[in-house]
């Protein structure tokens, strides 16, 4: 049945009218595009990036949620690679007794040869020359492709050489000492050639991360010496056979290098590493686009060198002074007081190798938390370290038998010598870490990797020149003018 309705029956009630008025008051007049997140569009990023056209979902997540180095996993991996960079050198030097007093001894070969007496100088030359050459070549002409290829092949070839060295330790070489000597020298040359490429590339990799991760590589290199010194001391006390001890040395180096190989492939899985790799690549691409017309896409090596030179000098001079004294002079300082608490048979192991490597490791670890002095003033304590050269010569340093010391012994106290050795080790580890950390920050971020490679090359050059300069120390203390 149809009804009759009046107009007022269709009007809104008091509550309905109130709701309509409230909605009308809230009506949006200015229309804006939907923002992705607060402040995202205000970052002055390119339109492609704002619309995620050049980013994967993983990169978007990393941009919005910058990760942290959980459990310091990346830091630990960098330390491990630092250990790997000096492990080959430490292992062959530590095995000195194995080569001199076993493989080249008259008791083993049945003949009197000069191979044992020339082992240390020969292995030093064979190790450092290719290391220096290929560190420098790797800066300007990257050998073997990109960073990953250089690191992987560098480790892989070192593993093969250590396998060959272990095999040679197991077989009887008494009938051909000359052939064994040259096989060993060839192995050292190949080993340090690829180690130079690997070491240089590791510093280039660490330079992409915050500064303390370069310090982690230096810390690892100092731990490498401590690790080897501990193995050496344990072997002296527990292993009567030099052959068995040498096998343990080389197996240890093999395991460390295999761990470096595995952990390198684990880095891309880590969100923290991927984040900084992404930042590095983005900054590099951005800067290259901005300056492409000026530099035509070429790396300005001379500009990078000039900007980094203050820290490159610091790195070079630190290792020059250190290697001028350790181990050549340091290990030939003899006990002054017969009543000193360290026994004669372990005096050199404790006062030289253990003391230096442990204090250098502690110094490197401190640099991860304290950075003083700042980069512009670092040169002052670096140059002052030159005083350690006369101080060590003033101690009870006794040169090899063919030299007669004429310089008086001014520091005839084992405790004073120990304090000097501790300060030298601490300063070496701490200042070298600062120099390596400061170096990449001296240049534009897109050249940080190249700056890290320059730093590694100057580090190796400092070691090489220090080793050469150490050869003059016996002559210095034997000059006739001291008599």
The whole-number average pLDDT for the span 212-239 is 79
The model's pLDDT over 433-456, given as tens digits with 9 standing for 90+, comes to: 999 999 999 998 878 888 988 998
Say if residue 141's pLDDT is above 80: no
* CA dist list (Å): 75 to 197, 217, 459: 21, 9, 21
How much is the CA Rg of the chain, to the nearest whole Å?
31
Say if residue 2's pLDDT is above 60: no
Average predicted confidence (pLDDT) for the chain:
81
The whole-number average pLDDT for the span 200-225 is 84
Tokens of 207: 């330079």
Highest mean pLDDT among 4-8, 85-89, 240-244 belongs to 85-89
Q: pLDDT above 90 covers what percent of the chain?
A: 31
Tokens of 201: 């590339």
Q: How far apart are alpha carbons 137 and 157 in whole angstroms?
A: 18
Identify which has the larger pLDDT, 431 or 279: 431
Q: How far apart are alpha carbons 327 and 309 in whole angstroms?
A: 28
Say if residue 199's pLDDT is above 80: yes
Using an 8 Å Cβ cutoff, are 78 and 206 in contact?
yes
Say if residue 392's pLDDT is above 60: yes
Tokens of 285: 């691409």
Highest mean pLDDT among 131-145, 281-295, 326-340 belongs to 326-340
Q: How far apart are alpha carbons 10 and 52 in whole angstroms?
A: 52
The model's pLDDT over 285-306, given as tens digits with 9 standing for 90+, comes to: 776 676 654 545 577 899 999 9
Give the residue carrying structure tokens 């530099």. Answer: 295
Say if residue 261's pLDDT is above 50: yes
Say if residue 36's pLDDT is above 50: no
Q: How far apart are alpha carbons 92 and 101 in whole angstroms?
A: 14
Identify which has the larger pLDDT, 358 or 222: 358
Identify which has the larger pLDDT, 142 or 265: 265
Q: pLDDT above 70 covers what percent of the chain?
A: 81
- In the 3-class helix/strand/coil scheme, how is the chain assigned residue by residue? CCCCCCHHHHCCCHHHHHHHHHHHHCCCCCCCCCCCCCCCHHHCCCHHHHCCCCCCHHHHHHHHCCCCCHHHHHHHHHHHHHHHHHHHHHHHHHCHHHHHHHHCCHHHHCCCCCCCCCHHHHHHHHHHHHHHHHHHHHHHCCCCCCHHHHHHHHHHHHHHHHHHHHHHHHCCCCCCHHHHHHHHHHHHHHHHHHHHHHHHHHHHHHCCCCHHHHHHHHHHHHHHHHHHHHHHHHHHHHCCCHHHHHHHHHHHHHHHHHHHHHHHHHHHHCHHHHHHHHHHHHHHHHHHHHHHHHHCCCCCHHHHHHHHHHHHHHHHHHHHHHHHHCCCCHHHECCCCCCCCCCHHHHHHHHHHHHHHHHHHHHHHHHCCCCCCCCCCCHHHHHHHHHHHHHHHHCCECCCCCCCCCCCCCCCCHHHHHHHHHHHHHHHHHHHHHHHHHHHHHCCHHHHHHHHHHHHHHHHHHHHHHHHHHCCHHHHHCCHHHC
Task: Output the pLDDT for position 454.
Answer: 92
- Please name the residues in contact with 48: beta carbons below 8 A apart, sequence gap of 6 or more: 54
Task: Output the pLDDT for position 195.
Answer: 85
pTM here?
Answer: 0.69
Task: Output the pLDDT for position 60.
Answer: 62
Question: Using 50, 70 and 90 to split pLDDT, how confident is the model at 48?
Answer: very low
Identify which has the larger pLDDT, 239 or 329: 329
Identify which has the larger pLDDT, 39 or 392: 392
Task: Output the pLDDT for position 130.
Answer: 82
């Amino acid at each position: 049945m149809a009804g009759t309705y009046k107009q007022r029956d269709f009007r809104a009630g008091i509550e309905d009218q109130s709701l309509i008025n409230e909605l009308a008051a809230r009506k949006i007049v200015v229309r804006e595009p939907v923002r992705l997140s607060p402040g995202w569009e205000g970052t002055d990023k390119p339109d492609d990036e704002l619309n995620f056209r050049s980013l994967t979902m993983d990169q978007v997540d990393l941009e919005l949620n910058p990760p942290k180095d959980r459990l310091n996993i990346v830091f630990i991996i960098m330390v491990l690679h630092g250990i790997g960079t000096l492990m080959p050198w430490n292992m062959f030097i530590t095995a000195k007794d194995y080569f001199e007093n076993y493989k080249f001894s008259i008791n083993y070969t049945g003949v009197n040869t000069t191979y044992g007496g020339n082992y240390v100088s020969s292995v030093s030359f064979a190790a450092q020359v290719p290391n220096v050459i290929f560190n420098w070549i790797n800066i300007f002409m990257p050998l073997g492709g990109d960073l990953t290829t250089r690191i992987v092949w560098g480790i892989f070839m070192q593993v093969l050489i250590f396998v060959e060295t272990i095999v040679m330790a197991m077989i009887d070489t008494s009938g051909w000492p000359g052939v064994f000597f040259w096989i060993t020298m060839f192995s050292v040359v190949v080993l340090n050639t690829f180690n130079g490429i690997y070491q240089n590339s590791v510093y280039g990799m660490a330079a992409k991360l915050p500064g303390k991760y370069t310090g982690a590589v230096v810390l690892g290199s100092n731990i490498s010496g401590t690790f080897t010194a501990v193995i050496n001391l344990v072997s002296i006390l527990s292993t009567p056979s030099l052959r068995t001890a040498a096998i343990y040395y080389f197996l240890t180096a093999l395991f460390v290098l295999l761990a470096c190989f595995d952990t390198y492939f684990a880095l891309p899985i880590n969100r923290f590493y991927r984040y900084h790799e992404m930042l590095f690549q983005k900054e590099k691409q951005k800067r290259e686009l901005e300056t492409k017309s000026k530099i035509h896409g070429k790396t300005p090596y001379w500009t990078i060198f000039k900007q980094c030179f203050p820290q490159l000098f610091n790195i070079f001079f630190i290792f020059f002074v250190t290697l001028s004294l350790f181990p050549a002079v340091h290990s030939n300082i003899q006990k002054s007081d017969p009543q000193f608490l360290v026994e004669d048979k372990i005096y050199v192991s404790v006062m030289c190798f253990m003391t230096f490597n442990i204090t250098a490791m502690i110094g490197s670890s401190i640099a991860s938390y304290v950075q003083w002095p700042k980069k512009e003033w670092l040169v002052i304590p670096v140059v002052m370290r030159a005083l350690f050269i006369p101080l060590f010569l003033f101690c009870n340093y006794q040169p090899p038998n063919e030299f007669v010391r004429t310089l008086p012994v001014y520091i005839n106290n084992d405790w004073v010598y120990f304090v000097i050795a501790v300060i030298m080790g601490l300063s070496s580890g701490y200042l070298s870490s600062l120099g390596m950390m400061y170096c990449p920050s001296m240049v534009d971020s897109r050249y940080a990797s190249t700056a890290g490679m320059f730093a590694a090359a100057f580090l190796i050059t400092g070691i090489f020149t220090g080793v050469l300069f150490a050869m003059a120390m016996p002559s210095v203390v034997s000059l006739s003018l001291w008599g």
